[in-house]
Chains A and B, each alone.
Chain A
Amino acid sequence: TQLLEQSPQFLSIQEGENLTVYCNSSSVFSSLQWYRQEPGEGPVLLVTVVTGGEVKKLKRLTFQFGDARKDSSLHITAAQPGDTGLYLCAGVLGDSSYKLIFGSGTRLLVRP
């Protein structure tokens, strides 16, 4: 069983549409990170959220950490083909600050 569930697994949308991907768990995380991974490359860190209820914006991307620190969401406004990739959330449990627990990812395709 996956500790972090991401949904949807796959998403294909038209350029200009908005989308939200979700990362859910029954565990409480001390922090949560979002990464984007392109084919043949390693994950690239987008953001780290630490405080329950925290919202961070990165241009057209908005990240939210749930109040209970069990879930997170990533919202993309006016998606562009350059947003295409695998989006991974990764949580840190309080007892091992270095060990990232990854979700299985959301594969996003933005069609021109």
Chain B
Amino acid sequence: NAGVMQNPRHLVRRRGQEARLRCSPMKGHSHVYWYRQLPEEGLKFMVYLQKENIIDESGMPKERFSAEFPKEGPSILRIQQVVRGDSAAYFCASSPRQGEGYTFGSGTRLTVV
């Protein structure tokens, strides 16, 4: 297992389009976290999921953003009707237990034009 896999690495969307970001956690990790990083800033928590469950979405905007972690397949962060302010690096992390042993992926850099 090469670690937490995120794709695509780079994503360009026009305003109003949808962005889908994928994250495959490390093998054996059932806890997934999404963070957003704006230029020259630290990461901000968005959402925490376990398989088929959203545990905490307090950091995710209530409109246009959604996340899922289905029983089979990767976790998906979906942003509908993107705006320029959504441009950022989105990082996924996974862990084997809640809050322990975080491993981050390389991120998806979303650019909205």
Chain B contacts with A in 37-84, Cβ cutoff 8 A: 40-45, 48, 55-56, 59
Chain B contacts with A in 1-48, Cβ cutoff 8 A: 4, 31, 33, 35, 40-45, 48
Q: For the complex, what is the distance from the CA of A44 to the CA of B44, rounded to whole Å?
A: 16
In whole Å, how far is B60's beta carbon from the nearest beta carbon of chain A? Answer: 12
Q: Within 8 Å CB of B33, what residues of A?
A: 98, 100
Interface 1/0 per residue, A84-98 and B, CB below 8 Å: 000010101000111
Question: How many A residues touch the partner, as a band?
Answer: 20 to 34
In whole Å, how far is A37's beta carbon from the nearest beta carbon of chain B? Answer: 9
Q: Within 8 Å CB of B35, what residues of A?
A: 100, 102
The answer on a CB contact under 8 Å between B43 and A102 is yes
The answer on a CB contact under 8 Å between B44 and A102 is yes
The answer on a CB contact under 8 Å between A43 and B104 is yes
Q: Check: A11 CB closer than 8 A to any chain B CB.
A: no
Interchain CB contact (< 8 A) of A97 among B40, B91, B98, B106: B98
The answer on a CB contact under 8 Å between B102 and A100 is yes
Q: For the complex, what is the distance from the CA of A105 to the CA of B42, rounded to whole Å?
A: 6
Q: For the complex, what is the distance from the CA of A101 to the CA of B33, rounded to whole Å?
A: 13
Q: For the complex, what is the distance from the CA of A12 to the CA of B45, rounded to whole Å?
A: 29
The answer on a CB contact under 8 Å between A98 and B31 is yes
Q: Within 8 Å CB of B40, what residues of A?
A: 104-105
The answer on a CB contact under 8 Å between B45 and A100 is yes
Interface 1/0 per residue, B83-113 and A, CB below 8 Å: 0000000010101001100111111000000
The answer on a CB contact under 8 Å between B43 and A88 is yes
The answer on a CB contact under 8 Å between A45 and B99 is no
Interface residues of A (CB under 8 A from B): 2, 4, 6, 33, 35, 40-45, 88, 90, 92, 96-105
Query: What are the nearest 10 A-B pairs in CB distance?
Result: A102-B42, A42-B104, A97-B99, A98-B99, A102-B43, A104-B42, A99-B45, A42-B106, A98-B98, A43-B104
